[in-house]
Structure 1
């Protein structure tokens, strides 16, 4: 595909799964690790304030204020198994993954074209942001312990499901407000057409990453690599 070029872009907001990172890393490394480690992590740390806050948030979602810790654990494992985008789950997964990254059990996967492009764009004065259904903590861990080292200094900010659902335009409207830039000067990168649709409704520019296994849509310009995006 021909390189995409648009000199009006002042900020780029990028998705992670299927965009910067192979979905298999999330589903075959991170999710199984959290599934295996989360039960004991909660049993050992349930009284810690940050953990207790998320356990209570799980009970709120369950609509069962008296749910036992074991019931909370069972619910969390079910959410992992069914890939639910539930905010307290994402927060707790982030805590478990932090330990895994710090122990060197894995590094954050990035496609080879991602880090060079991010460095080039940031050096050119384009502000970089992440918007993922994974928690901000998990995002910072992935880029902080990435295959290419610590890339967190490249980013100006991070957004997760606290800002809104990734397939709803209101979330992108809130991001536009947070960035305090004209919507049309913000480029959103994702592999998911429904997310791109929502960003476009909010006035953003959009670009679909068509990685291996991704089905190209027709409503948005497509590229196969970050190297194809010339700013």
Structure 2
């Protein structure tokens, strides 16, 4: 593979640094029964209150919907794996608390942590862009089994501060926020639609095609890699 000269590597999480099944399994299972619990705190928490209101609007519930009705609607979104911003916000709150209490842990593919440390040591900046909220991204990296990886990351983006991951404008927004030309950015993701959106914004993109992940085999032959060990970058 040709060595790419970049200043920043932007990382997707699900299916790229970490197994989608772990997130959709262990973490979703942790959040499901606790949604009513977090929604009940809306009166005293502006973030939760805003997410609750947005969830009601997004799911078509009436303004007087109960916490149980809102939780049930959110669980339906989880079952369909809808990338809902209010859902991601509430999940992020729950997961951050679960990580802090040691009730849940994160997961990274074995090839990921060594390469992240290698790239950072080489002066390449690392950034995360995931549909999961920033509130869930940070503890995910902080509580990695391989040690705290959050110290390697300098910026965090989600659908709130950057926009939807399948839209070109989101990548232009991130480049502007980082103060870099798109040609100096590299995005690593497993989702074909995200590959297309980042390419349209002028970014370098490498698709991950990991065995057993949701988008495995969906990339044109010769355009994807199976692990971070196959990626060669320099500044």
- Tell me the residue number matched to 2:194: 195
| TM, length-normalised to structure 2 | 0.91
Q: Give the gaps of 5 or more residues in structure 2.
A: none
Following superposition of structure 1 onto structure 2, how do residues 190-229 of structure 1 map, counting pairs within 5 Å?
190-213=189-212, 214-218=216-220, 221-229=223-231
Runs of 5+ in structure 1 lacking a partner?
A: none
1:98-152 deviation digits (Å, cap 9, x = unpaired): 1221221221100011111111111111111111110011111110111112111
Structure 2 counterpart of 1:22, from 19, 22, 25 = 19
Q: Is the 8 A contact 1:113 1:227 kept in 2?
A: yes
How do residues 58-207 of structure 1 correspond to structure 2 at under 5 angstroms?
A: 58-63=55-60, 64-162=62-160, 163-207=162-206
SS at match of 1:129: strand
- Preserved CA contact (<8 Å) 1:127 1:156: yes
Name the CA shift for 1:130/1:219 in 2 (closer, same or farther; >3 Å). Answer: farther
Q: Supply the distance in 2 between the matched residues of 1:133 and 1:172 (Cα, whole angstroms).
A: 13
Report Cα offsets for 1:189-230 as digits up to 9, x if no partner. 011111101100000001011111211512873211111112
TM-score by length of 1: 0.92
Measure the CA separation in 2 of the matches of 1:53 and 1:192: 29
For the aligned residues, what is the CA RMSD?
Answer: 1.6
Q: Which residue of 2 aligns with 1:52?
A: 49
Mapped to 2, the partners of 1:172 and 1:219 lie a distance apart of: 25
Alignment pair present for 1:41 and 2:26:
no
Aligned length: 227
Q: Which secondary structure state, in structure 2, belongs to the residue aligned with residue 47 of structure 1?
A: helix
CA gap of 1:220–1:140, structure 2 versus 1, over 3 A, is farther
